[in-house]
Protein backbone atom coordinates (compact mmCIF):
# COMPACT_ATOMS: atom_id res chain seq x y z
CA UNK A 1 0.00 0.00 0.00
CA UNK A 2 1.33 3.45 -0.86
CA UNK A 3 0.85 6.30 1.62
CA UNK A 4 1.78 9.49 -0.17
CA UNK A 5 0.82 11.89 2.60
CA UNK A 6 2.93 12.76 5.61
CA UNK A 7 2.19 10.97 8.88
CA UNK A 8 3.12 10.95 12.56
CA UNK A 9 3.93 8.17 14.99
CA UNK A 10 3.38 8.37 18.76
CA UNK A 11 7.09 7.75 19.37
CA UNK A 12 9.51 9.55 21.73
CA UNK A 13 11.35 11.43 18.98
CA UNK A 14 11.91 9.60 15.70
CA UNK A 15 8.95 9.63 13.36
CA UNK A 16 6.86 12.14 15.25
CA UNK A 17 6.94 13.66 11.78
CA UNK A 18 7.31 11.40 8.72
CA UNK A 19 7.60 13.15 5.35
CA UNK A 20 6.72 10.92 2.43
CA UNK A 21 7.85 11.35 -1.18
CA UNK A 22 6.39 9.44 -4.10
CA UNK A 23 9.72 9.94 -5.88
CA UNK A 24 12.88 11.83 -4.95
CA UNK A 25 16.57 11.62 -5.85
CA UNK A 26 17.74 10.55 -2.38
CA UNK A 27 15.99 10.65 0.99
CA UNK A 28 19.36 11.58 2.52
CA UNK A 29 19.32 14.77 0.39
CA UNK A 30 15.83 15.68 1.63
CA UNK A 31 16.92 15.14 5.24
CA UNK A 32 20.15 17.14 4.78
CA UNK A 33 18.05 20.09 3.55
CA UNK A 34 16.35 20.19 6.95
CA UNK A 35 19.58 20.12 8.94
CA UNK A 36 19.73 23.89 9.55
CA UNK A 37 16.94 23.73 12.09
CA UNK A 38 17.26 21.63 15.26
CA UNK A 39 13.46 21.68 15.52
CA UNK A 40 13.64 18.98 12.81
CA UNK A 41 15.33 16.56 15.23
CA UNK A 42 13.85 13.12 14.63
CA UNK A 43 12.17 13.88 11.31
CA UNK A 44 11.97 10.83 9.07
CA UNK A 45 11.96 11.02 5.27
CA UNK A 46 10.47 8.09 3.43
CA UNK A 47 10.30 7.53 -0.34
CA UNK A 48 8.40 5.12 -2.54
CA UNK A 49 11.15 5.53 -5.13
CA UNK A 50 14.63 7.09 -5.33
CA UNK A 51 16.09 8.19 -8.65
CA UNK A 52 19.66 8.59 -7.33
CA UNK A 53 19.85 6.57 -4.12
CA UNK A 54 23.31 6.72 -2.59
CA UNK A 55 25.22 3.78 -1.18
CA UNK A 56 28.54 3.51 0.60
CA UNK A 57 31.80 4.28 -1.21
CA UNK A 58 30.05 6.34 -3.90
CA UNK A 59 27.96 3.42 -5.06
CA UNK A 60 24.30 3.64 -6.03
CA UNK A 61 21.51 2.08 -4.02
CA UNK A 62 19.08 0.36 -6.36
CA UNK A 63 15.53 -0.48 -5.37
CA UNK A 64 12.48 -0.71 -7.62
CA UNK A 65 9.47 1.55 -6.81
CA UNK A 66 7.69 0.30 -3.69
CA UNK A 67 9.99 -2.73 -3.36
CA UNK A 68 11.76 -1.67 -0.18
CA UNK A 69 12.05 0.75 2.71
CA UNK A 70 13.97 3.87 1.65
CA UNK A 71 14.29 5.98 4.73
CA UNK A 72 16.43 8.72 6.25
CA UNK A 73 16.38 9.98 9.81
CA UNK A 74 17.59 13.45 10.73
CA UNK A 75 19.11 13.72 14.21
CA UNK A 76 20.93 16.29 16.32
CA UNK A 77 22.71 14.01 18.80
CA UNK A 78 24.96 15.25 21.60
CA UNK A 79 28.67 15.26 20.69
CA UNK A 80 29.44 11.98 22.49
CA UNK A 81 26.96 10.11 20.28
CA UNK A 82 28.34 11.49 17.02
CA UNK A 83 30.55 8.48 16.44
CA UNK A 84 30.22 6.55 13.18
CA UNK A 85 30.60 3.18 14.87
CA UNK A 86 27.93 3.92 17.45
CA UNK A 87 25.48 5.37 14.93
CA UNK A 88 25.99 2.49 12.51
CA UNK A 89 25.48 0.03 15.38
CA UNK A 90 22.29 1.81 16.50
CA UNK A 91 20.79 1.66 12.98
CA UNK A 92 21.86 -1.93 12.27
CA UNK A 93 20.56 -3.20 15.62
CA UNK A 94 17.17 -1.60 14.93
CA UNK A 95 17.10 -3.23 11.49
CA UNK A 96 17.89 -6.67 12.97
CA UNK A 97 15.12 -6.27 15.57
CA UNK A 98 12.67 -5.24 12.85
CA UNK A 99 13.54 -8.19 10.63
CA UNK A 100 13.17 -10.61 13.56
CA UNK A 101 9.83 -9.19 14.60
CA UNK A 102 8.31 -8.97 11.11
CA UNK A 103 9.65 -12.16 9.53
CA UNK A 104 10.94 -14.36 12.35
CA UNK A 105 14.22 -14.61 10.39
CA UNK A 106 17.64 -14.43 12.03
CA UNK A 107 19.86 -11.67 10.73
CA UNK A 108 23.42 -10.64 11.35
CA UNK A 109 25.39 -7.44 11.06
CA UNK A 110 28.26 -7.49 8.60
CA UNK A 111 30.85 -4.95 9.72
CA UNK A 112 30.45 -2.04 9.63
CA UNK A 113 26.85 -1.51 8.65
CA UNK A 114 25.28 -4.11 6.38
CA UNK A 115 22.59 -6.49 7.55
CA UNK A 116 22.54 -10.02 6.13
CA UNK A 117 19.94 -12.75 6.24
CA UNK A 118 21.16 -16.19 5.24
CA UNK A 119 24.37 -14.48 4.08
CA UNK A 120 22.49 -12.23 1.63
CA UNK A 121 22.63 -8.48 2.05
CA UNK A 122 19.13 -7.22 2.72
CA UNK A 123 19.98 -3.82 4.14
CA UNK A 124 22.60 -1.09 3.92
CA UNK A 125 23.11 1.96 6.10
CA UNK A 126 24.66 5.25 5.01
CA UNK A 127 25.44 7.74 7.79
CA UNK A 128 26.23 11.28 6.67
CA UNK A 129 27.29 13.93 9.19
CA UNK A 130 27.36 17.71 8.94
CA UNK A 131 25.51 20.13 11.19
CA UNK A 132 23.29 17.16 11.95
CA UNK A 133 23.40 13.42 11.45
CA UNK A 134 21.50 11.80 8.60
CA UNK A 135 21.09 8.04 8.86
CA UNK A 136 19.93 6.58 5.55
CA UNK A 137 18.61 3.05 5.55
CA UNK A 138 17.72 0.91 2.54
CA UNK A 139 15.93 -2.32 3.41
CA UNK A 140 15.00 -4.72 0.61
CA UNK A 141 11.49 -6.01 1.22
CA UNK A 142 9.62 -7.43 -1.77
CA UNK A 143 12.16 -7.87 -4.59
CA UNK A 144 12.23 -11.26 -6.30
CA UNK A 145 15.60 -13.01 -6.69
CA UNK A 146 15.51 -12.21 -10.43
CA UNK A 147 15.49 -8.46 -9.63
CA UNK A 148 18.89 -8.79 -7.96
CA UNK A 149 20.33 -10.99 -10.71
CA UNK A 150 19.16 -8.44 -13.34
CA UNK A 151 20.72 -5.59 -11.34
CA UNK A 152 24.07 -7.44 -11.12
CA UNK A 153 23.67 -7.93 -7.36
CA UNK A 154 23.76 -11.72 -6.94
CA UNK A 155 24.66 -11.45 -3.24
CA UNK A 156 21.64 -9.34 -2.34
CA UNK A 157 18.33 -10.58 -1.00
CA UNK A 158 15.00 -9.25 0.20
CA UNK A 159 12.83 -10.20 3.15
CA UNK A 160 10.32 -11.69 0.68
CA UNK A 161 12.91 -13.72 -1.20
CA UNK A 162 14.18 -15.18 2.08
CA UNK A 163 10.90 -15.61 3.95
CA UNK A 164 8.89 -16.82 0.96
CA UNK A 165 6.11 -14.25 1.32
CA UNK A 166 5.58 -10.55 0.67
CA UNK A 167 5.35 -7.84 3.34
CA UNK A 168 3.64 -4.46 3.55
CA UNK A 169 6.53 -2.03 3.03
CA UNK A 170 4.92 0.70 5.13
CA UNK A 171 4.30 -1.69 8.01
CA UNK A 172 7.97 -2.66 7.86
CA UNK A 173 8.92 1.04 7.77
CA UNK A 174 6.74 1.78 10.80
CA UNK A 175 8.27 -1.06 12.79
CA UNK A 176 11.75 0.06 11.81
CA UNK A 177 11.09 3.65 12.93
CA UNK A 178 9.76 2.35 16.27
CA UNK A 179 12.89 0.23 16.82
CA UNK A 180 15.16 3.12 15.79
CA UNK A 181 13.32 5.34 18.25
CA UNK A 182 13.64 2.89 21.16
CA UNK A 183 17.34 2.22 20.51
CA UNK A 184 18.05 5.94 20.16
CA UNK A 185 16.32 6.56 23.50
CA UNK A 186 18.77 4.06 25.05
CA UNK A 187 21.70 6.03 23.62
CA UNK A 188 20.29 9.33 24.88
CA UNK A 189 19.67 8.05 28.38
CA UNK A 190 23.12 6.64 29.08
CA UNK A 191 22.16 3.05 28.21
CA UNK A 192 24.43 2.69 25.16
CA UNK A 193 25.77 -0.55 26.68
CA UNK A 194 22.40 -2.18 25.89
CA UNK A 195 22.73 -1.22 22.22
CA UNK A 196 26.36 -2.36 22.36
CA UNK A 197 25.31 -5.78 23.70
CA UNK A 198 22.74 -6.28 20.92
CA UNK A 199 25.32 -5.14 18.35
CA UNK A 200 27.98 -7.53 19.70
CA UNK A 201 25.49 -10.39 19.56
CA UNK A 202 24.36 -9.54 16.01
CA UNK A 203 27.94 -9.29 14.76
CA UNK A 204 28.43 -12.99 15.65
CA UNK A 205 32.20 -12.55 15.73
CA UNK A 206 33.18 -12.86 19.38
CA UNK A 207 35.57 -15.77 19.95
CA UNK A 208 35.95 -16.41 16.24
CA UNK A 209 39.07 -16.53 14.10
CA UNK A 210 38.96 -13.48 11.89
CA UNK A 211 40.82 -11.34 9.43
CA UNK A 212 40.56 -7.68 10.39
CA UNK A 213 41.42 -4.99 7.85
CA UNK A 214 42.00 -1.55 9.36
CA UNK A 215 43.51 1.70 8.11
CA UNK A 216 46.75 0.63 9.85
CA UNK A 217 47.04 -2.88 8.38
CA UNK A 218 45.46 -6.31 8.19
CA UNK A 219 45.73 -8.93 10.92
CA UNK A 220 44.49 -12.42 11.61
CA UNK A 221 43.53 -13.55 15.05
CA UNK A 222 40.78 -14.52 17.45
CA UNK A 223 38.39 -11.72 18.44
CA UNK A 224 38.47 -11.62 22.23
CA UNK A 225 36.54 -8.41 22.78
CA UNK A 226 34.16 -6.15 20.90
CA UNK A 227 33.02 -2.83 22.29
CA UNK A 228 32.40 0.70 21.05
CA UNK A 229 35.82 1.58 22.48
CA UNK A 230 38.02 -1.20 21.13
CA UNK A 231 38.30 -4.51 19.35
CA UNK A 232 40.63 -6.98 21.03
CA UNK A 233 42.31 -9.31 18.60
CA UNK A 234 44.47 -12.14 19.91
CA UNK A 235 47.08 -12.36 17.18
CA UNK A 236 49.26 -14.95 18.99
CA UNK A 237 48.46 -16.92 22.13
CA UNK A 238 48.34 -14.34 24.89
CA UNK A 239 49.23 -11.39 22.62
CA UNK A 240 46.26 -9.10 22.19
CA UNK A 241 46.07 -6.18 19.77
CA UNK A 242 43.69 -3.32 20.62
CA UNK A 243 42.05 -1.75 17.57
CA UNK A 244 39.97 1.42 17.39
CA UNK A 245 36.59 0.47 15.84
CA UNK A 246 36.46 3.61 13.65
CA UNK A 247 39.67 2.49 11.92
CA UNK A 248 38.41 -0.99 11.12
CA UNK A 249 37.21 -1.30 7.54
CA UNK A 250 36.31 -4.97 7.31
CA UNK A 251 36.12 -8.08 9.49
CA UNK A 252 35.89 -11.50 7.94
CA UNK A 253 35.51 -14.80 9.77
CA UNK A 254 38.19 -17.21 8.51
C1 LIG B 1 25.03 0.77 1.32
O2 LIG B 1 25.74 1.03 0.36
O3 LIG B 1 24.98 -0.37 1.78
C4 LIG B 1 24.22 1.85 2.00
C5 LIG B 1 22.93 2.03 1.29
C6 LIG B 1 22.05 3.10 1.90
C7 LIG B 1 20.81 3.31 1.06
C8 LIG B 1 19.82 4.21 1.71
S9 LIG B 1 18.27 4.19 0.88
C10 LIG B 1 17.72 5.53 1.83
C11 LIG B 1 18.88 6.47 1.98
N12 LIG B 1 18.95 7.39 0.86
C13 LIG B 1 20.02 7.21 0.10
O14 LIG B 1 20.31 7.86 -0.93
N15 LIG B 1 20.77 6.21 0.60
C16 LIG B 1 20.20 5.67 1.82
Best residue among 137, 158, 176, 250 to mutate for probing ligand 1, ranked by most atoms within 8 Å of CB: 137
Distance of CA 16 to the CA centre of its chain: 20
Q: Higher model confidence: residue 237 or residue 69?
A: 69
| Rounded-to-integer distance, Cα 14 and Cα 212, Å | 34
68 lines ligand 1 (CB under 6 A): no
pTM of the model: 0.96
- H or E element, residue 159: helix 159-163
Nearest ligand 1 atom, CA 27: 12
CB of 134 closer than 6 angstroms to any ligand 1 atom: no
Centroid of ligand 1 to alpha carbon of 238 (angstroms): 40
**Residue 59: CB within 6 Å of ligand 1?**
yes
The tens digit of pLDDT for each residue in 15-71 reads 999 999 999 999 999 999 999 999 999 999 999 999 999 999 999 999 999 999 999
Q: Could you give the angle at which helices 192-203 and 84-103 cross, rounded to 10 degrees?
A: 70
pLDDT at 237: 84
Q: Quote the mean pLDDT of the chain.
A: 96
Task: Tell me how far the alpha carbon of residue 31 lies from the centroid of ligand 1, in angstroms.
Answer: 13
pLDDT at 51: 98
Instruction: Provide the pLDDT for residue 3.
Output: 55
Is the four-CA dihedral 84, 59, 161, 31 of positive or negative sign?
positive
| 132 pLDDT more than 70 | yes
196 alpha carbon to ligand 1 midpoint, in Å? 23
pLDDT of 6 reads 86
* 175 C-beta closer than 6 A to ligand 1: no
- Tell me the average pLDDT across 135-156: 95
> Closest by alpha carbon to 179, among 158, 190, 195?
195
**Burial bucket for residue 131 (CB in 10 Å: 0-12, 13-18, 19+):** exposed
* Residue 238 confidence (pLDDT) above 90: no
Q: What is the structure's pLDDT at 1?
A: 41
Specify the pLDDT at position 207: 96
Which pLDDT belongs to residue 2?
46
In this structure, the strands spanning 44-50 and 18-24 are parallel
**Cα 89 to Cα 200: distance, rounded to the nearest angstrom:** 9
Amino acid sequence: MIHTTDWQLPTRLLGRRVIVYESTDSTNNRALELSDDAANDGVVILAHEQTAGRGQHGRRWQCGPGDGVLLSVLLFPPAELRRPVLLAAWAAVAVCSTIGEITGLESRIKWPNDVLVQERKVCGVLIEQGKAVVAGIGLNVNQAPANFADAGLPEAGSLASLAGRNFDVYQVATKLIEHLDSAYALLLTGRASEVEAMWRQSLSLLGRDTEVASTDGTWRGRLRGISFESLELEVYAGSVLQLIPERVRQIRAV
